[in-house]
Amino acid sequence: FVKIHAPWEVLITYAEVLGMKMPIRESDIPPPDANPFSCVLGPLKLKKAVKHPHPEYFTAQFTRHRQELFLIEDESTFFPTSARNRIVYYILSRCPFGTEEGKKRFGIERLLNSKTYSSAFPLHDGQYWKPSEPPSPVNERYILHKNWARFSYFYKEQPLNLIRRYYGEKIGIYFVFLGFYTEMLSYAAVVGLACFIYGLLSMEGDSSSREICDPEIGGQILMCPLCDQLCDYWRLNTTCLASKFSHLFDNESTVFFAIFMGIWVTLFLEFWKQRQAKLEYEWDMVDFEEEQQQLQLRPEFEAMCKHRKLNAVTKEMEPHMPLCSRIPWYLLSGATVALWMSLVIACMVAVIVYRLSVYATFATVMESEATLEPVRSILTPQLTTSLTGSCLNFIVILILNFFYEKISAWITKMEIPRTYQEYESSLTLKMFLFQFVNYYSSIFYVAFFKGKIVGYPGKYTYMFNIWRSEECDPAGCLIELTTQLTIIMFGKQIFGNVKEAIYPLALNWWRRRKTRTNSEKLYSRWEQDHDLESFGNLGLFYEYLETVIQFGFVTLFVASFPLAPLLALLNNIIEIRVDAWKLTTQYRRPVASKAHSIGVWQDILYGMAVLSVATNAFIVAFTSDIIPRLVYFYAYSTNATDPLKGYINNSLSVFLIVSPGMHSSGFFRYRDYRYPPEHESKYSPNMQFWHVLAAKMTFIIVMEHVVFLVKFLLAWMIPDVPKDVVERIKREKLMTVKILHDFELNKLKENLRLNSDLFAKEVM
């Protein structure tokens, strides 16, 4: 072990190089007005000493020749430990250690890659299970573990200022975002739960499910076989339970919730911009520019470059990689992403083929086995096929994710990005595109394709001219979409939390197995930290990716599953504490770095928010059964007391089958709007088909325009930076200029006085 300490002169030198802002005077700006509900929210609050461990200060960029200006009470504690480890890493990443073929070799990362050193990491402040003993400084790791990383504190707010001070702004802003997103989810979860309760309470009064379950109506309707050869005719009332479950999520509240979520996502993004602006002020990031990071080249890039070029900004010669040297890797990268996305589509098609292949098997077994009678009342062949297909699809998703993560990281590294920001942006694009297709492709299929191109008896459509296209349940495809979404979303969250908790715990136990009998004196703190799991440069990247994918589940398909925000809320409450626990106890301390926003993820969230309006409108129109019911209600119903009575019979078309066997001759039904066999345009779409289609298209256009109009109005009405933050920024800038002016003026007066005294002595 080589322990590195940065003395005071090194710290002040590189604090100036990195443009660190340090306190010059305690702020005189009064805190924001107290929340009127602060008494009610009291149990959720942390102690003031934990939430705000230090007072607010006016700050200025640190310079060595103005040391007297800054509030330096103790040189050992003036710079936070996060700032000190950031300075040390900045030096190590650019420190030369030799030459090879006339080319300089430098940077700790290169030494790590060549296995000269096994690892390099900043030390934690102390043990997380006990405070430091005097005269040691305060153990911030222990405070964080006690007040943040414990599951019993799941209802408490986070000590964000302490997180920023210990881990740096980049990790700090992730937890701010996760906490804010979780808080906003609570409102969506309440509304979604209310919609679900409405569906639960109105289930028994639903006309459609009553008619399907009625032995005199649904029990007398014989339906066409759902597959060729092996499948037999079936009675409509066998889908009784599925139709009741379908009503839970396919009712009048579905439209309301889809519109509500379109507005919610706008409010979330607009209020996040305000929260981010407030954070920039509180964390002294107002003047922070990304160019400061862009000008810092990756050591790997500098080591690989053989050419140099004049930087137009700095006017200095710096390493340069010609475009012609990168094109082959860009082509390979694009081809790899396209190949893996095609593989995802192929796997989805394979799962569809599985569903088509095993449906007949499930139907045959469940009809022939008398012992399955209790199961058959709950699980129909359709629902059984959907459940097993969804589980199989989820397993395929996990397998593809595992391999693609490794390949995408290697491909991005081979592209030799110029800066860390370019590296992360390139990896983000690859990983998000792949995971978007991987997680959502099967859901898109069920939502927008399944049951839409089935054909009709005698003229069905076939996949690869072998398997007949899947049909929806007479109660609609929404219940299958809900099943698919629930299994993938719930399974991903459970698997993610277990992996995040168990994986580092098991690895750390394995590393410590040889030293667990040693006393603490023989097992030094740096050895203990070395035996922890490394967080890595991409640890935060995967946390953001997980949150953004969850955001897609909550917004893109939420019309089919109002409980999605509630599941996401419960997961995030656990996620915050799991992330805090593993960072505090299971991972080495990451190198601190600065960030003033969530970066490219914000643009991705905006794109998904816009897409969510269209997907939910199409789900309500084409996957839900709301629009056909409304058309029947207003245009075709003849029953004044119960306008939806007769809807099921109306939504089923008639097909005539004539066969020598009497058991298979007669009129059978299928889900569509087509003329009966006795009509001159038999089996062609009837007028109601066109009425329903026109109503669906009208609904999509109206809903999209209404939601987008509200979105634009809200975005225009809500300022990106709150008025009080603007005023506080102006006040701080004014006071900083005044303090600097007074300091320089006093310094000038002091110099003049000293010079005049010296002149007087020389004259005497």
- Which alpha helices (H) appear in 415-477, and where do they start and end? 420-448
Domain assignment present for 92: no
How far is CA 344 from each of CA 122, 397, 438, 651, rounded to the nearest angstrom?
Answer: 40, 8, 6, 35
Using DSSP's 3-state secondary structure scheme, residue 495 falls into helix
Domain assignment present for 158: no
Among the listed residues 634, 619, 630, the one whose alpha carbon sits nearest the alpha carbon of residue 700 = 619
Domain count along the chain: 1
pLDDT number for residue 291: 42
CA-based angle 165:730:64, to the nearest 5?
A: 50
Distance CA 231, CA 359 (A): 9
pLDDT number for residue 293: 45
DSSP label at residue 636 = I
Among the listed residues 311, 199, 210, 285, the one whose alpha carbon sits nearest the alpha carbon of residue 246 = 199
pLDDT number for residue 214: 87
CA-based angle 527:532:536, to the nearest 5?
A: 120
Low-confidence stretches of the chain (pLDDT < 50) are 291-295, 370-372, 375, 661-662
- Residue 202 class from Cβ within 10 Å (0-12 exposed, 13-18 middle, 19+ buried)? middle
Distance CA 244, CA 237 (A): 11
Q: Which domain holds residue 596?
A: 169-633+699-717
Q: CB neighbours of 103 closer than 8 A, spacing ≥ 6?
A: 303, 306
Instruction: Tell me the per-residue pLDDT of 434-453, one tens digit each, with 9 for 90 and over.
Output: 889 888 988 888 888 887 88
| Helices 539-556 and 478-512, axial angle in degrees (round to 10) | 160
Bond from prior residue into 417 cis (ω within 30 degrees of 0)? no
Whether residue 105 contacts residue 98, with contact meaning beta carbons closer than 8 Å, is answered with yes
- The tokens for 756 are 């005049």
Distance CA 158, CA 573 (A): 11
Domain assignment present for 644: no
Distance CA 183, CA 155 (A): 11
For the chain, the maximum distance between any two Cα atoms, rounded to a whole number of angstroms, is: 136
Distance CA 420, CA 410 (A): 15
Among the listed residues 274, 261, 271, the one whose alpha carbon sits nearest the alpha carbon of residue 710 = 261
Distance CA 705, CA 693 (A): 19
Distance CA 59, CA 557 (A): 46
DSSP notation for 396-421: HHHHHHHHHHHHHHHHHHHT--SBHH
- The tokens for 333 are 């990268």
Q: CB neighbours of 268 closer than 8 A, spacing ≥ 6?
A: 181, 184
Among the listed residues 399, 475, 449, the one whose alpha carbon sits nearest the alpha carbon of residue 648 = 475
Please report, to the nearest 10 degrees, the dihedral formed by the alpha carbons of residues 627, 632, 635, 636 taken in order.
160
- Per DSSP bridges, beta strands 57-61 and 96-100 are unpaired
Domain assignment present for 673: no
Domain assignment present for 503: yes
Whether residue 360 contacts residue 231, with contact meaning beta carbons closer than 8 Å, is answered with yes
Instruction: Tell me the per-residue pLDDT of 315-327, one tens digit each, with 9 for 90 and over.
Output: 666 666 777 777 7
- Residue 342 class from Cβ within 10 Å (0-12 exposed, 13-18 middle, 19+ buried)? exposed
Distance CA 243, CA 225 (A): 18
CA-based angle 97:101:103, to the nearest 5?
A: 50
